[in-house]
Amino acid sequence: MPVRRKNSANDRQIAKMCNPGMASAGKKGDMKHASNRSLRPLALGSLTAGVALWLAAPGLAQGNGLAMLGTLAKGEWTIKQRAGAPARKICLKSGAELIQIMHRESGCNQFVVEDGAARVTVQYTCPGNGYGRTSIRRETGALVQIESQGIHGGMPFQLAAEARRTGSC
């Protein structure tokens, strides 16, 4: 069984020197409370920093994001849907043009779901005109596979397509 000793005058003096703001450094058990009080600011600071990092992590993770789209070749791309719809041609400047195939307007809010080296997934909402979720898988810098679904003009859509660079624009 451990031996407990009473706080000596020397212990009280050390507690006063370590915690000059402590007015009650002479009571029994004060050393325990003194060390807890001196650790509180450190613990509170660590907790605050942890919460700030946790809250900032989604923003840091998204950053500018979608780096994979920036690796695609610029120029004219042809999008061929697997459902047999006519091919469409678009001019690719940043790669982001592939995200909102059905919602060509600007002003849509985007949320990055996945941002990998070979695949990106973006969910977006266009106020007053629906929403969508698009996944783009990179095969080469000039060939990608696109899957998109959502609501456009009050009607559901689902798209599976291959997009390929076909020239300059």
DSSP strand pairing (109-115 vs 155-167):
unpaired
In the predicted model, residues of the chain with pLDDT beneath 50 are: 3, 22-26, 30, 34, 43-44, 47-63
Q: What pLDDT does 66 receive?
A: 87
Chain position carrying tokens 């596979």: 145
Residue 126 has phi, psi (to 5 degrees) of -115, 105
Residue 59 has what pLDDT? 40
No. of H helices and E strands in the chain? 3, 7
What would the pLDDT profile of 15-54 be if each residue is shown by its tens digit? Answer: 555 555 544 444 555 455 545 555 555 544 554 444 444 4
